[in-house]
Amino acid sequence: MIKLIPLTALLLTTAAPALAQQDLRNLSPMQADAMSDEVAYDITEGLVTEVGHRMAGTEDEARAREWAVKKLTDLGFADVHIETYQMPVWVRGTETAEVIAPAPQDFHITALGTSGSTGPKGIEGEVVYFPSFSRLLAAPEGSLNGKIAFVTHDMRVTQDGSGYGFAGPSRWRGPNFASKAGASAIVIRSVGTDNHRNPHTGGTTFDEGVKHIPAGAISNPDADTLERLIALGEPVRMKLVLTPKDFGMQESGNVIAEVPGADETLPPIVVACHLDSWDLAPSAFDDAAGCGIITAAAKRVMEMGQPRRTIRLLWAGAEEVGVFGGKAYGEAHKDEPHALAMESDFGADRVWRVDFNLGDADLKDRLALALAPLGIARGDTHAHGGADVGAIIEAVKPAVIDLQQDGTRYFDLHHTPDDTLDKIDPAQMAQNVAAWTTVLQIMANHDGPIGPELAAAQEGG
């Protein structure tokens, strides 16, 4: 555990703009104490050090669940248990890419989740260039027979992460449409904003009945090189070796823990992160940090005295490969009312904005005012929660609050070998804990109805 620096230094050394001195004076004692939190970092450090990567459905993820149960129990949480489910498991194999002509050279590539295999001997083919996902969508059926599609994009850095929505379809759905057009394989520019030779992995989805062709992402510098080679006007040929395997249905699971509320008649609050990760790194940002943040905040509320409402922690499994854990939680708990759902799954950099899907205007004002000293602005965007709480939100329509983190660095690290513990800024992580503690303390002790309770009260009135 590293030694955390004092409060004022923590606030003033973050990568984000410093808080004004007036804001420092306006921090509540609860927030000031949270700014020296060590629990969130300790959890993150423990997961990446004692477990490592946590690929869904594998023995590594199972070890992570066992680690989580012990950790949450040791921290004093109640009813710590695992809820299991079955899911399809895909594991990567050998990964190489090389240009054969016109200028032979090697590229750095990683397979996308659910990619098909080239077989150990690999495949060769002429590269067909698509400067955007929309151009690939227009490719006629059969037009790519025997070819390797290459799809690029122009993803830019954004604080709110909106660049992911722009570039993501090339990974999420590009392989599906390349297969429909007859391609023997597809290579995409990594969906990320870094300039390192680290390819970004991630899931891709094929329609039912569509062949799972080999699909890989090359690093952004290598994608630049491939574009320049194509611009020379000569045919470009590549050889790919991608040998992932499908292991069929295997067990995964969610780890659940609670801070019991004093009033068992009140619906609980659920706060989520995801325990699993991709296998290229120990994944400190995505999402060991989220588990650390929500757990540290819930522990702080617990230590301040029993809240009125139960706070339920959901450390979801198998998010990266299809949100299987979140869906399983939604199915298992769809008949239980939930007051509020929240998730932390966007790294560990500071919270800069809060968004609401919350019917009580006075309560929104109270939350926004309480968060303002932490440098958090009130947003006007409808809160959606996160992937792992999506199913329960759809099922029971709870209130939702989004504590939006600064995403400026996030897609430099997302799904790459670079997602390691040294990328965590303890100052910014502590500000997350202070923000989450503030919201949970207010919401878990709120006297009035929340979410479906409020809707029922309004209908009755």
Q: Could you write out the DSSP letters of every residue in 344-368?
A: --S-SSPEEEEEEE-S-HHHHHHHH
232, part of any domain: yes
Q: What is the pTM of this model?
A: 0.93
367/410 same-domain check? yes
107 and 42, same domain (yes or no): no
Are residues 450 and 401 both part of a single domain?
yes
Looking up residue 256, the CATH number of its domain turns out to be 3.40.630.10
> Whole-angstrom Cα distance, residue 252 to residue 255?
10
Structure tokens that stand for 301 in this block: 């509320």
pLDDT surpassing 50 at residue 455: yes
How far are the Cα atoms of 93, 94, 253 from residue 119, in angstroms, in the given order?
A: 10, 10, 31
Do 413 and 265 share a structural domain? Answer: yes
Lowest-confidence region among 2-11, 29-38, 325-334, 429-438: 2-11
Cα pseudo-dihedral 400, 170, 103, 92, rounded to 10: 70
Whether residue 380 lies inside any domain: the answer is yes
> Both tokens of residue 136?
């690939």
Give yes or no for a contact between 429 and 15, defined as CB atoms under 8 angstroms apart.
no
Residue 324 has pLDDT above 80, yes or no: yes
In the chain, the number of structural domains is 2
Q: Does one domain contain both 331 and 193?
A: no
Is residue 2 in a domain?
Answer: no
Task: Please tell me the distance from the alpha carbon of residue 99 to that of residue 121, in angstroms, as a whole number.
Answer: 15
Residues 140 and 71 in one domain: no
User: What is the spatial distance between Cα 96 and Cα 257, in angstroms, rounded to a whole number?
Assistant: 42
**Contact between residue 23 and residue 375 where contact means Cβ atoms under 8 Å apart:** yes
pLDDT number for residue 314: 99
Beta-bridged to residue 218, according to DSSP, are 109, 189
DSSP summary character for residue 395: H
Domain match, 81 and 148 both: no
Domain encompassing residue 158: 93-243
Is residue 14 helix, strand or coil? coil
Q: Identify whether 328 is part of a domain.
A: yes
> Per the domain annotation, does 403 fall within a domain?
yes
Q: Is residue 115 part of a domain?
A: yes
Q: Has residue 366 got a pLDDT over 70? A: yes
Boundary (domain end) residue, out of 212, 243, 274: 243
DSSP symbol at 3: P
Task: Report the pLDDT value the prediction gives residue 255, as an integer from 0 to 100.
Answer: 99
Is residue 405 within 8 Å of residue 293, measured between CB atoms?
no
pLDDT number for residue 451: 77
Q: Helix (H, G, I), strand (E, B), or coil: what is residue 294?
A: helix
Structure tokens at 388: 């792992």
Say how far apart CA 206 and CA 200 lie, in whole Å: 19
Mean pLDDT, the chain, whole residue set: 93
- Answer yes or no: is 383 within a domain: yes
| Secondary structure (3-state) at 223 | helix
Please tell me whether residues 322 and 445 are part of one structural domain: yes
pLDDT band at 2 (very low <50, low <70, confident <90, very high): very low
Residue 123, pLDDT above cutoff 60: yes
Same domain, 225 and 255: no
Query: Residue 275 — φ and ψ, nearest 5°?
Result: -80, -30
No. of H helices and E strands in the chain? 17, 16
Q: Which tokens hold the place of 448?
A: 């009035």
DSSP H helices in 3-128: 7-12, 21-26, 29-34, 39-46, 59-74
Task: Tell me, yes or no, whether 19 and 106 share the same domain.
Answer: no
Which residues does 303 contact at the CB level (< 8 Å), separation at least 6? none
Tokens 């000031």 sit at which residue?
Answer: 32
Q: Which residue, 243, 266, 286, sits at the end of a domain?
A: 243
Q: 291 with 431, same domain?
A: yes
Cα dihedral 45→46→49→52 (10° resolution): -110
Predicted confidence band at 25 (pLDDT cuts at 50, 70, 90)? low
Over 50: is that where the pLDDT of 67 sits? yes
What the block records as the tokens of 415 is 């799904």
pLDDT of residue 447: 83
If asked whether residues 109 and 187 sit together in one domain, one would say yes
Q: Is the pLDDT of residue 20 over 60?
A: no
CA distance linking residue 240 with residue 217, whole number of Å: 11
ω before 102 within 30° of 0 (cis)? yes
Within a domain: residue 1? no
Is pLDDT at 26 greater than 90 in this prediction?
no
Cβ–Cβ under 8 Å, residues 315 and 254: yes
Averaged pLDDT, 14-40 = 74
* DSSP one-letter code for 81: E
Domain boundary, last residue among 218, 243, 268 = 243
Q: What is the DSSP code (8-state) at residue 423?
A: G
Q: Evaluate whether 393 touches 334 at the Cβ level (below 8 Å).
A: no
Asked if residue 21 has pLDDT above 70, the reply is no
Q: What is the CATH number of the domain that holds 107?
A: 3.50.30.30
